[in-house]
Amino acid sequence: MGIRRFRASDAEKASKLIRRCLLEVNSKDYPMESIEKMCKQHSPENLIVISMKQDMYVFVRNNDVLGTGCLVQNWIQTVFVNPDYQGRGIGKKLMVHLEKVMGDRGYVTSIVPSSITAYEFYRKLGYRKTKVINDEDSGRNIIMEKKLRKI
């Protein structure tokens, strides 16, 4: 059990997990048109392509992908946790891992484009809202930042 780099063999499970989160959880805050676009963006094939351009990680237990998270420089993206396991610390463990990787690379600020759904999760981890944007594909996002260490 733990966090490791995404492998192409994780694509099907990770895609299923992300699509499930979008349909069961995020759909409470976003129109179905946005949810459907995001589901297509996170197909197994697209996740493999994303993983070649970004640092993608998965939280795995007993060969099951229970969480995902990506890094693009100091931006954290694609953080999803299996709805059956939300509230059990997996998301927090992923965030701590991603923040550590950023800190090790010399970044002092972490940025997260939060969904409406995840806003409170990030706020509790010390992130603060800096602005709100409306994306054509993913809808409303709240840009949040957190200082990783003292300058």
pLDDT in tens, 107-148: 999 999 998 999 999 999 999 999 998 776 666 789 999 999
- pTM for the full predicted model: 0.91
Q: What is the DSSP letter of 150?
A: -
For CA atoms 144, 70, 66, 28, the dihedral sign is positive
Query: Domain 2-147 is in which class?
Result: alpha beta
Distance CA 115, CA 50 (A): 19
pLDDT in tens, 45-103: 999 999 999 999 999 999 999 999 999 999 999 999 999 999 999 999 999 999 999 99
Distance CA 133, CA 142 (A): 6
> What are the residues whose beta carbons fall under 8 Å from the beta carbon of 116, sequence distance 6 or more?
29, 30, 139, 140, 142
